[in-house]
């Protein structure tokens, strides 16, 4: 049975887009019409790329998805480059697509990725009314398709020729290759050649990301004097490696916990006389006897932070805590950089304002900043230290990183329209109006 909609609600539902029309230019109305006309084509494209399995370590699969997009960007008049990664890194590579428009206008970097966390057996796209079950459909082939169809609509409306746009699609966002600086060089280089960045990880009707935390790994290696347990705490045997790491972790928790946006999780621990710890697999073994003061202990965890200052200050405090060794013990802490922080900047807020205004002009309502603690790390973070950007402009969906992932097909036009108008409105402005100068934040 068809649900009956009260007439007043129907009027309200129609009034939004109708009232918003006057704030769209003729060109923008053509952009919107082009997106509406390609709606089913866009879903078919999404199905095509979802049906190519492309887990991060499926190098051939990632490459096949990239080839599909590359052909589409070529036909849009972009200059495309495939950037392979060295064999030893075991990652497919990245697609870079560049379009030159009017000199002196804002240059926009669009960020997507082709790899998925879950490795499906094969084609898995299954349409269910307005939704589709699709591994990688929301995170983030849906976002990639939003980028492509926004650009196609801009071209159809005659707007693309003036725009300076570079799209970078990484092949290993979900599990970046190492060393990180080599794995992210193409993205960072593209960042330096552009003024602002828009990233298309999972989207939302009402919020977008102007700030997100960065992450660092840490590892403590403690040593003690192997001795008979009867002598523990004594001058000869000392306290042992396990009491030393217990002291350190308790001091971390009691002295550092509770600061806004700062978290440091102890994720794995092994201690004893004979200890192994594999830092790649994050797994280890311990063996000893109950009557031995342990000589070795290892703890590993992560650290999340909102600004580089918060990271450096926290690392210094952790080092100072580690250095206060119990008698007869020693310990070191090492930190491994992962994702830089994306601190809130005035420029990020100004890009959000463009997106928000476009959303309202299209009748989709306001878009507010997302709680910075709510979004995990992503590729935009690698360029955020030196350029302004906005994240979370991708497809709406549920179940990212899980086999039950679903993507909302009905919301694709909304996300594509909002992306296209934001690219158009930003890209028509003189470069001096947006973008950060070196060292400014
Ligand atoms: Zn993702």
Span from the CA of 396 to the centroid of ligand 1 (angstroms): 12
* Token reading at 230: 């009867």
Span from the CA of 419 to the centroid of ligand 1 (angstroms): 17
Regions of the chain short of the pLDDT cut 70: 1-22, 437-441
Span from the CA of 394 to the centroid of ligand 1 (angstroms): 10
Question: How many angstroms separate the CA atoms of 422 and 43, rounded?
Answer: 22
Span from the CA of 184 to the centroid of ligand 1 (angstroms): 15
The pLDDT, as a whole number, for residue 375 is: 83
Length of the chain: 441
Span from the CA of 46 to the centroid of ligand 1 (angstroms): 15
Give per-residue pLDDT as tens, 354-380: 999 999 999 999 999 999 888 878 999
The pocket of ion ligand 1, defined by CB under 5 A, consists of: 139-140, 201
- Going by the DSSP 8-state scheme, the letter that residue 139 receives in this structure is I
Span from the CA of 291 to the centroid of ligand 1 (angstroms): 49
The pLDDT, as a whole number, for residue 5 is: 42
CB 70 within 8 A of CB 167: no
Span from the CA of 201 to the centroid of ligand 1 (angstroms): 5
Span from the CA of 239 to the centroid of ligand 1 (angstroms): 45
CB 215 within 8 A of CB 378: no
Burial of 428 (0-12, 13-18, 19+ CB in 10 A): middle
Span from the CA of 379 to the centroid of ligand 1 (angstroms): 8
Question: How many angstroms separate the CA atoms of 340 and 385, rounded?
Answer: 7
> 267: closest CA among 227, 214, 304?
304
Question: How many angstroms separate the CA atoms of 213 and 252, rounded?
Answer: 19
- Residue 269's DSSP bridge partners are 299
Give per-residue pLDDT as tens, 83-109: 999 999 999 999 999 999 999 999 999
Residues contacting residue 192 through CB under 8 Å, at least 6 positions apart = 386
Pairing of strands 296-305, 263-272: antiparallel
Span from the CA of 381 to the centroid of ligand 1 (angstroms): 12
Q: What is the 3-state secondary structure (H, E, C) of 68-92?
A: HHHHHHHHCCCEEEEEECCHHHCCC
- DSSP letter for each residue of 207-231: EEBS-B-EEEEEEEEEE---EEGGG
β strands within 227-366, DSSP E: 227-228, 263-272, 274-278, 283-287, 292-293, 296-305, 330-339
The pLDDT, as a whole number, for residue 13 is: 47
What element of type H or E holds 152?
helix 142-156
CB 108 within 8 A of CB 194: yes
Span from the CA of 55 to the centroid of ligand 1 (angstroms): 11
Residues contacting residue 268 through CB under 8 Å, at least 6 positions apart = 277, 282, 283, 284, 298, 299, 300, 301
Residues contacting residue 386 through CB under 8 Å, at least 6 positions apart = 191, 192, 436, 438
Span from the CA of 429 to the centroid of ligand 1 (angstroms): 29
Span from the CA of 135 to the centroid of ligand 1 (angstroms): 12
Residue 312: C-alpha distances to residues 303, 317, 318, 383 (Å):
11, 9, 10, 19
* Token reading at 63: 């490459």
Span from the CA of 106 to the centroid of ligand 1 (angstroms): 26
The pLDDT, as a whole number, for residue 374 is: 83
Span from the CA of 214 to the centroid of ligand 1 (angstroms): 15
Span from the CA of 407 to the centroid of ligand 1 (angstroms): 13
The pLDDT, as a whole number, for residue 438 is: 54
Question: How many angstroms separate the CA atoms of 225 and 232, rounded?
Answer: 10
- Provide the 10 A C-beta neighbour count for residue 51: 16
What is the crossing angle of helices 59-75 and 39-50, to 10°? 150
* Token reading at 6: 């009260």
The pLDDT, as a whole number, for residue 8 is: 45
């Amino acid at each position: 049975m068809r649900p009956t909609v009260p007439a007043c609600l129907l009027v309200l539902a129609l009034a939004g887009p109708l009232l918003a029309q006057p704030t769209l230019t003729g060109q923008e109305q053509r952009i919107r019409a082009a997106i509406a006309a390609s709606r089913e084509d866009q879903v078919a494209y999404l199905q095509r790329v979802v049906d190519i399995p492309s887990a991060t370590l499926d190098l051939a699969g990632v490459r096949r998805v990239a080839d599909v997009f590359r052909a589409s960007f070529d036909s849009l008049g972009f200059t495309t480059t495939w950037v392979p990664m060295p064999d030893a890194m075991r990652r497919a590579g990245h697609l870079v697509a560049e379009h030159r428009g009017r000199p002196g206008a804002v240059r926009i970097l669009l960020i997507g990725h082709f790899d998925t966390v879950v490795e499906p057996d094969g084609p898995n796209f299954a349409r269910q009314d307005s939704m589709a079950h699709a591994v990688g459909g929301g995170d983030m082939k849906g976002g990639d398709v939003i980028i492509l169809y926004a650009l196609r609509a801009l071209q159809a409306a005659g707007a693309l020729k003036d725009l300076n746009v570079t799209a970078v699609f990484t092949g290993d966002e979900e599990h970046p290759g190492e060393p990180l600086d080599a794995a992210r060089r193409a993205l960072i280089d593209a960042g330096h050649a552009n003024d602002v960045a828009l990233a298309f990880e999972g989207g939302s009707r009402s919020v977008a990301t102007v700030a997100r935390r960065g992450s660092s790994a840490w590892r403590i290696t403690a040593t003690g004097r192997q001795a008979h347990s009867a002598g523990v705490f004594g001058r000869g045997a000392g306290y042992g490696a396990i009491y030393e790491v217990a002291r350190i972790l308790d001091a971390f928790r009691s002295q550092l916990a509770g600061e806004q946006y700062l978290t440091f999780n102890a994720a794995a621990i092994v201690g004893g006389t004979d200890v192994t710890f594999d830092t790649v697999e994050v797994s280890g073994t311990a063996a000893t006897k109950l009557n031995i003061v342990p000589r070795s202990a290892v703890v590993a965890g992560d650290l999340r932070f909102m600004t580089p200052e918060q990271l450096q200050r926290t690392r210094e405090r952790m080092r100072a805590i580690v250095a206060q060794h119990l008698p007869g013990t020693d310990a070191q802490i090492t930190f491994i950089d992962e994702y830089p922080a994306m601190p809130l900047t005035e420029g990020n807020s100004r890009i959000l304002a463009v997106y928000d205004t476009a959303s309202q002009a299209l009748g989709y309502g306001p878009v507010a900043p997302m709680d910075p603690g709510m979004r995990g790390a992503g590729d935009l973070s690698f360029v955020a230290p030196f350029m302004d950007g906005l994240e979370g402009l991708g497809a709406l969906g549920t179940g990212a990183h899980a086999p039950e992932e679903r993507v909302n097909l009905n919301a694709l036009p909304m996300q594509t329209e909002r992306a296209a108008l934001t690219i158009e409105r930003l890209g028509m402005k003189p470069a001096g109006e947006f973008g950060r100068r070196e060292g400014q934040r």
